[in-house]
Amino acid sequence: MIAHWVDTTTDEEARALDRQMWDFATRQEANGTVVAQAPGPPPENGEFWSHALERIKDDPDQRYAMARRHLPLPAAWREMAIALRTKIRAARKEKTPYEDLLRELHHLAAMASYAGYGPIQRVPYARIAALDLAYERVGFEKLLLLGVTDGKWMVELWGEPIVHTSAADLYADMLAADLKRIAADKAQEGAARIDFLAGWNDEVEADRPSTDEPVGRKRRGLLGWLFGG
């Protein structure tokens, strides 16, 4: 099983990873309480990654590496950008080359501009990383991950770009196909989830001890609890 989005190469791998993180697992406790919980992002040494990040945030290399493991969460893009800016500022202060770092920051921001978190989680990283998102084709003004200072640094090194756009606009046809595929997948998954819950609800009701409730009063089952019926 793929553990990180940056390791995904196919649509199915990205879909499976998204479901692994965000599909609700439902169980019934011994006291009858129904608990539904999604696993969420994988932990870092047993704790939520943003808490673990606090201890290493002053080390840009560790900060970058940890955030990269949690792409495409919005906070992960931001943390990677912060780590790269820290290294760029240090290089500028020491008057050492930083163009490769700046180009990486631009590419990171351009990839992030392909789609919001929900859709992009189901698009394989390898496909987005392989897109031609060069500075000359994308510019910087429409890349929300970048700030004013980032743009100034880029203009200093590469000049004013001819156009300013985003990966979503540049690859609109590809994005439209992805959104259509993702919507179809989610509809299929939703139908399967309802079928599963209906079957489980029947099993739970069959296992309940009989009661002396008045005839005609229907006991509220699991589906009623979940959907308000």
Q: What pLDDT digit, counting tens, does each position of 9-61 carry?
A: 999 999 999 999 988 776 666 776 766 777 888 888 888 898 999 999 999 99
Instruction: Kindly state whether residue 222 falls inside one of the protein's structural domains.
Output: no
Residue 28: what are its φ and ψ, rounded to 5°?
-110, 125
Domain-embedded: residue 50: yes
**CA angle centred on 41, ends 39 and 45, rounded to 5°:** 100
In a domain, 147, yes or no: yes
Residue 209 covered by a domain: no
- 69, 2 contact by CB (below 8 A): no
Q: Is residue 191 part of a domain?
A: yes
- Nearest in space to 84 (alpha carbons), one of 153, 3, 4: 153
Give the total number of structural domains in the chain. 1
The backbone region for 40, taken as left when phi is positive above 0, alpha when psi lies in -120 to 50, beta otherwise, is left
**Residue whose token pair is 């743009």:** 151
DSSP-assigned states of every residue in 175-200 = HHHHHHHHHHHHHHHHHHHHHHHHHH
> Does 56 map to a domain?
yes
Any alpha helices (H) in the chain, and if so which ranges?
Answer: 11-22, 49-56, 60-69, 74-94, 99-112, 117-120, 125-129, 135-138, 148-158, 167-170, 172-207, 222-227
pLDDT tens for 100-134 read 999 999 999 999 999 999 999 999 999 999 999 99
Residue 219 in any domain: the answer is: no
Q: Containing domain of residue 91, as a range?
A: 5-196
| Confidence category of residue 7, pLDDT binned at 50, 70, 90 | very high
Is residue 73 included in any domain, yes or no? yes
